[in-house]
Each structure stands twice: as C-alpha cells, then as structure tokens.
Structure 1
Amino acid sequence: MTSIVQLDEIPTLNLLYKLGKLSAAHSTASDSPLPEPNVAYNDKISLIRTDITKLGVDAIVNAANESLLGGGGVDGAIHRAAGPGLVLTYYEQITGAYNLPCKKVIHAVGPVYSSTKRKGKHTSLLQGCYRRSLELAAENGCRSIAFSALSTGVYGYPSDEAAETAIAEVKKVMDAGGADEIDRIVFCSFMQKDEDAYEETIPEFFPPMMDDVKKSETAKLPIETGEADERTTALPSAPTEEPKQEGTSAAKTRKTDDETGKAEEHSDAKM
C-alpha cells in the first residue's frame, strides 16, 4: 500500500531545478520573452507524479464528471478512497475528505474537449476550473491545494494544451494576488503523458533562478556534495500502475459528448 505523502515531502520547483529534474526553457511556445524568475513562486508551486488520494494536503481537486457521483480514472479513485460519505455531499463544490488523508475535496467539472472546442469554449471553461478551485481553497482556509490533471482523461483534453492552460491560469491568479493565502499549489499527475506535459511547460511560466540553472548543469547533485537532506534523497515514487479507466468505452464517450451541454452549464454556474 502506498504511504501518505506529506506536504513537506512534495518537491517544490526550486528543489526540482536544483536537482536537475526540471530544465530551464529557452523560449516560450509563443516566442514571447520568459518571465523573470521568482523564487517565492517557485517555492509555492510543486510538481509531482503520484496518486493524489495519498497526498496529505489541505485540499485536492477532483476531476469530477457532470453527475458528481464518481466514475472512472482519478474521479473513481478519489470516491473509492474517500468512502461512501463523499457521494452524500455530491451537490457541493467543496466537501469533507472522509477517509482521504487531505482535509477537503474540491469538485471541478472540466470541459469535454471535442465538443467545447467546436464552440470555442474549451480554454475558458478549463481556466474557470482552476481559478474557482483556488478561490474555494482560500475561502475555506486551505493553505495547500493539489490539482489533478483536469479533463485529460475520458474528456479528451490534450495533455500539452491542458497543462499550458492550467499553469498559465494559476500564474495569472498568483500575479493578481488571488493565491496569497495559499502556501503551496501542487500539480499532481498520475499518467506519464501529463507529467511530461507539465515538465515541458512549467519552465516557460516559472523559470529557475540562475543559481539553480548552474547547479543543475554540474555533474554533481546535492546528494554527492553533502548538501542533501531527506527530501533530496527520497522524492516520492511515481505510480507503478495506470488508473483504471472505467467507463471509457465508445458508448461512454458518446454519452459524455451528449452531456456536454449540462457540463457547460454546471461549469459556468459553479466553477
């Protein structure tokens, strides 16, 4: 059984850059200048690939389906780990965590990519999920929040597009002071494709300090120079299994598209 991953075990961007786990970007996707490095931001943002149901943070964000009753993938995993009590509060945007090690669960109904893209609403709907989740966390006194990779499962949002939208929106909220009451924001991936997308995109929005770049380019890591602590020697392991994608048959996918109108209404009204 996977042990609980406490907040101080989740690596920040500053640590990942120092360890050479993240590399500096040479340019942004739009060829616009990179933002100035911000050590405070890089201490607030974390990136990890693990089972989100094992994170000992204040709040986790569930990639919920329109019914909010649990389903496949991460949504189903969260409901199974939380226990039956979570279903009883499914109409709420933020609920207790029941058997989960976190304190709260925020339920974000992300957009179905194919149908919302045709309407030009996919980006704004996904942005709204991240923005509203941060608002809910702050309103409920949550000092740490972990996001799953919203809409990248059965809802079909390409991982690279989803990661860019998520990271850009979170930075926008931070720049406006909307996350000042939150100490840590974690992007938690389960699938390798999502982790790859975040590792590729995060340096474009949260670049490293130059000292971290120099350190990552050297042959020796902190563990070899005697500067290591427990966090640098024992980062949480990545999942060894992919989540079960229950309900991802062709019939389920068609149903998902049919329910898009309801999902959009729900996202507009609640997220």
Structure 2
Amino acid sequence: MPFTRTTEQTSKYEHLEKMPVGELLANINNEDKTVPLAVEKALPQIERLVEKTVQQLKAGGRLFYIGAGTSGRLGIVDASECPPTFGVPFDLVIGIIAGGDTAIRKAVEFAEDDDEQGWADLEVWNINENDIVVGIAASGTTPYVIGALEKCNLNNIPTGCITCNAGSPLAALANYPVEVVVGPEFVTGSSRMKAGTAQKLVLNMISTATMIQMGRVKGNKMVDMQLSNHKLVGRGVQMIMDELGIPQEEAAALLEEHQNVRKAIEAYANR
C-alpha cells in the first residue's frame, strides 16, 4: 500500500481569504467535528499503547514523549500536567522536543531534520528498556522522531507513536502505533489544526487512563493533585467534605495537616 500524506493534501475549501469571518469559523468547526470520530477508530490501538505504558511504569519505567514543532509542544504540555494533576514525580512522564526548550516558544529551524539528535536527547535521561517512548509526528515522517524510535528498537526499549497519516514510516517502526487519520486540513498542510487536536485528544487518553490504572484517582477525583494554588486547595477541601461527610472547617484542617487529599482521607478513616 503506497504511503500518502493526507495531512499535506489540498484543503477541500477554496478562496479562504474571500470568506467572511462567520463562514471561516463555521467551516473550521465543521472540520473539527470530524476529529473525535477519527480518534474513535483508533481506540483499539490506543488501548494497546496504554496497557503497555502501564506495564512499563509499574515495572519502574518512565513514559517519554518525543516530537518536533506542534507535536513536541503537545507532548510537553501533557507531560508537564501530570505532576500537578496526579501528584507523580516530574520525571515519570517526560516531554522532549526537537531544538530543546527554546523550541517550546520559538521554532528552531531544521531541528526536526536531524535523525540522530532525538536519540541523543533521550540518552541524557539514561533511557533504558524499562521505559517506553512515544513518538509524536502528524506526518509520520519526521527524521528527529524516526531516528529516536529506530535507536529505541535497537536497544529493546518499547515504542509507540501518534501520527495522522495511515501507513507512515513512523507507524511501521513503532511497536504500538496509533494512527488517527483526520484528512486534509482547512488550511492546506497546517497540521497544528485537526492533526494537533487529534494528538491532544490521544495524549489526554494516554496519560489519564495510565494514571487511573496506576491508582492515582479515587472514584473520579484527583486525590493526589498538588495543592499549588487557592483554587486547588478549595477543590481538595470539597473532596474531603464529600468523601467523609464532615464540615468545611474540619476538612480544611485535615488538608492543612496532611497536605494531600488522599492522606487526609486515610488519616481520618484510621482514627
């Protein structure tokens, strides 16, 4: 089956510059509506990747996301939100982007074309076979990501990927590929749009499902979240009130004492 970059195919919309704002927004929204349906088709692939990720983390490994441009930034966003949301160490889920931290805010020219730097960036973290590496690339052809996964495979490190083209070189390399085919973008080739949205949805699924499987959620609550602002402290107090059926003042005192919702609930239960 020949490889076709549907993410690069011409938009089905013409003369965008002549559209009034309302029409632009309606058309973008219509395209965006197709993304969750494309993700749904990939659920079996996502399930396999999550199950392997949980297995690796329970064995003491880490989850790495690696990508370039928008894909790399999305991986970093997802990784950076795991510690405050689930109370895990900052180095359990790690996002790596071509061009380094500078590339988070400003594009680093040609960084994605270096097929050796991805592995070098992983080696900084003493990557090993207990870990799992998920390459993120809408095109499925980014040399930085492909080179990293090739070296991972040679070193018996499990690999996954998130791509938006079917039958890509990246998916062929990954042990646990996820292919979410969203079709041509509203603006031709602008894969920060539907492809980026699809990648974000899949990343949400991977990290959230993994953390639930790792015991980082109780019921439907983030009981291990970091109490890093007043909003989250208030949320924590409310969780304790709901769980234990106690007044706000008592719940607040428990949280102040234990600095963690789970620990506060457990301490109360063990009185």
TM-score, normalisation: structure 2: 0.27
Higher relative contact order (CA 8 A, sep 6+): 1
TM-score, normalisation: structure 1: 0.27
Pick the structure with greater CA Rg.
2
Name whichever structure is richer in helix by fraction.
2
